[in-house]
Amino acid sequence: MSFADLGLSDELLRAVVESGYTEPTPIQAQAIPPVLMMKDLIGIAQTGTGKTASFVLPMIDILAHGRSRARMPRSLILEPTRELAAQVAENFEKYGKYHKLNMALLIGGVNMGEQVAALEKGVDVLIATPGRLMDLFQRGKILLTGCSLLVIDEADRMLDMGFIPDIEEICTKLPAQRQTLLFSATMPAPIKKLADKFLSNPKQIEVSRPASTNLSIDQSLVETSSRAKRETLRNLLRSETVSTAIIFSNRKTTVRDLASSLARHGFKAGQIHGDMEQPERLRELDRFKGGEINILVASDVAARGLDIKGVSHVFNFDVPWHPDDYVHRVGRTGRGGATGTAITLVTPEDAEAIAAIEKLTGAPLPRRPRAAGTDAPSEEGTAAPRERRDRRRDKAPREDMARADRAERPERADRQERAVPPAREARRDDRRPRRDDRRDRQDDGPDDGWNGPVPSFLTVGFTN
Ligand code: ADP
Ligand code: MG
């Protein structure tokens, strides 16, 4: 199967070839023809399987004919985070270079005035996060009545973030006669319900079992203790053939501490998390992509959208609190058909979280035998004094758990907000930075303030 068999235009095929893709991924091969035939579609495929191009490519050809009108976007793509929205925009730039399509991004953290100005000119493709879109809609800056194509991307993530009521509301503003595409890695009941309500006679494509992780990823658990975690990690980094690795931890503070600890031990390690300023994050990503560093310590926000090719290893320094995050983290390796390795460090306290992951993915995670040398006191004596202090902090699991509890609370509050009327919901994007500020002071919250890589045409508009 080649891209040429899918019915795409010659200009588009040229752009695809130039982007370096030779073969469509399974979701692309199955989704593109029915989308070109204007059918509604539900596409379920794990993270990293190329879902973006499976709607961006046919959309470019569909939108090639026709003209946009002021304030009336012709198509709408909903994304859960600004980072994912920005990545979809980059895809349009890359594949749409031989087409003249106007695009606008409506995401938090970007100057509202410029977004409105772009809309005034008329856009073919509007890419938005639900909160920001509702906000603008309520101010009368945008009309969705000319929008004949809707994409709800990363639907399960939308659900996690409490965006479903917003999406329902948005669906009612669009013309009933339209094409609707929904993409998700998993298909939980509320998403199924949403699809039943707003898609008409959709073609359903499921590339792999829901919530299963990629088969080309070699996954395993390595047992350790909170105290020995860093040493276990270092041993793994030395014994595995790690060309590039992303190491995930649950807290921003751990990201910072771990990155500097690894650097002290001679690893070429950098860090990325939501507390960093935008230019700093981009710099760190560039260092990673350019090979100056080969280890990136990251928090979960980075897991949702980071598109870095050829990461050989993913390490979970902490077992994620939410099993979905496991799937997303592990999906950073084994992308685009390459094989990858994902290793999760587990302590006895993690038993419950591991059970939840195994239940979600439907397969037990093989345990590697406890590595020799792990927990061995030999290296303990040679560790720098600072390092030993850090370890002592790691040693207090009860305090850690209390923190985890506190950190999760704001998110639960978030979920309850699903029930509140849209007028309040709509400000979500604007409210977020303030809430993050509060967390920053607390300094131990889950990291969801990401607003990372944006396409070049947008960098000017960033206000933070
Ligand atoms: P998903 O949305 O399913 O998580 P993405 O659309 O972000 O996945 O794509 C994952 C990665 O695969 C990206 O790095 C993308 O550039 C790459 N990719 C997409 N399509 C192809 C293809 N046909 N061949 C090779 N790589 C691809
Ligand atoms: Mg995606």
Dist. CA 314 → ligand 1 center (Å): 17
| Burial of residue 306, with CB atoms counted within 10 A of its CB: 0-12 exposed, 13-18 middle, 19 or more buried | buried
How do the domains of the chain map onto residue ranges?
A: 3-206, 217-368
> If you ran DSSP here, which 8-state letter would residue 5 be given?
G
Distance CA 416, CA 340 (A): 37
- Please write the tens of the pLDDT for every residue from 334-391: 766 677 899 999 999 999 999 999 988 888 999 987 655 444 433 333 334 444 444 4
Of 48, 42, 50, 56, nearest in space to 26 by CA? 50
Q: Is 244 helix (H, G, I), strand (E, B) or coil?
A: coil
Distance CA 234, CA 388 (A): 15
Choose one of 12, 49, 184, 186 to mutate for the ligand 1 pocket test, by most ligand atoms within 8 angstroms of C-beta.
49
Question: Residue-wise pLDDT tens for the chain (464 aa)?
Answer: 899 999 999 999 999 999 888 889 889 999 999 999 999 999 998 877 889 999 999 999 999 988 888 889 999 999 998 889 989 999 999 999 999 899 999 988 777 788 888 899 999 999 999 999 998 899 888 999 999 999 999 999 899 889 999 999 999 999 999 999 999 988 889 999 999 999 999 999 988 643 455 667 889 999 999 999 999 999 999 998 899 999 999 998 999 999 999 999 999 999 998 777 767 877 888 899 889 999 999 987 655 555 566 689 999 999 998 887 888 788 888 766 677 899 999 999 999 999 999 988 888 999 987 655 444 433 333 334 444 444 444 443 443 334 433 333 333 333 333 333 333 333 333 333 333 333 333 334 444 433 333 333 332 222 22
pTM above 0.85, yes or no: no
Q: Which residues contact 350 (CB under 8 A, 6 or more apart)?
A: 319
pLDDT at position 305 is 52
Of 144, 202, 142, 137, nearest in space to 175 by CA? 144
The environment of the single-atom ion ligand 2, i.e. residues with CB closer than 5 A, is 51
Chain centre distance of CA 333: 13
- CATH number of the domain at 217-368, out of 3.40.50.300, 1.10.357.10, 3.30.450.40, 3.30.1360.170? 3.40.50.300
Q: Which residues line ligand 1 (CB under 6 A)?
A: 21, 23-25, 28, 45, 47-53, 307, 309, 335-336
> If you ran DSSP here, which 8-state letter would residue 457 be given?
G
Contact 119, 126 (CB under 8 A): yes
Of 170, 161, 156, nearest in space to 73 by CA? 170
Of 12, 14, 57, 2, nearest in space to 34 by CA? 57
Choose one of 13, 32, 47, 52 to mutate for the ligand 1 pocket test, by most ligand atoms within 8 angstroms of C-beta.
52
Distance CA 430, CA 109 (A): 8
Of 212, 409, 162, nearest in space to 326 by CA? 212
Dist. CA 301 → ligand 2 center (Å): 14
Choose one of 21, 92, 151, 304 to mutate for the ligand 1 pocket test, by most ligand atoms within 8 angstroms of C-beta.
21
Dist. CA 337 → ligand 1 center (Å): 9
Choose one of 22, 78, 335 to mutate for the ligand 1 pocket test, by most ligand atoms within 8 angstroms of C-beta.
335
Instruction: Give the ligand at the shortest distance from the Cα of 80.
Output: 2
Dist. CA 397 → ligand 2 center (Å): 35
| Helix or strand holding residue 364 (H, E) | none
Of 54, 273, 40, nearest in space to 154 by CA? 54
Dist. CA 417 → ligand 2 center (Å): 25
**Tokens at 174, concatenated:** 């669009």
**What is the DSSP code string of 367-426?**
EEPPPTTTT-THHHHHS-HHHHHHHHHHT-HHHHHHHHHHHHHHHHHHHHGGGS-HHHHT
> If you ran DSSP here, which 8-state letter would residue 72 be given?
B
Distance CA 257, CA 277 (A): 18
- Helix segments in 290-365, DSSP class H: 300-305, 323-330, 351-361
Q: Which atom of ligand 1 is nearest to the CA of 3?
A: 23
Length of the chain: 464
Dist. CA 303 → ligand 1 center (Å): 15
Contact 184, 44 (CB under 8 A): yes
**Tokens at 428, concatenated:** 């979500």
Do 3-206 and 217-368 fold alike per CATH? yes
Dist. CA 336 → ligand 2 center (Å): 12
Of 198, 74, 71, nearest in space to 147 by CA? 74
pLDDT at position 307 is 59
Dist. CA 165 → ligand 2 center (Å): 21
Whose Cα sits closest to atom 15 in ligand 1? Answer: 50
pLDDT at position 361 is 82
> If you ran DSSP here, which 8-state letter would residue 336 be given?
G
> If you ran DSSP here, which 8-state letter would residue 65 be given?
S
Cβ neighbours, 10 Å, residue 350: 20
> If you ran DSSP here, which 8-state letter would residue 185 be given?
S
Q: Which atom of ligand 1 is nearest to the CA of 308?
A: 14
Instruction: Give the ligand at the shortest distance from the Cα of 310.
Output: 1
- CATH number of the domain at 3-206, out of 3.40.50.300, 3.40.50.11900, 3.40.50.1220, 3.20.10.10? 3.40.50.300
**What is the DSSP code string of 430-443?**
HHHHHHHHHHHHH-
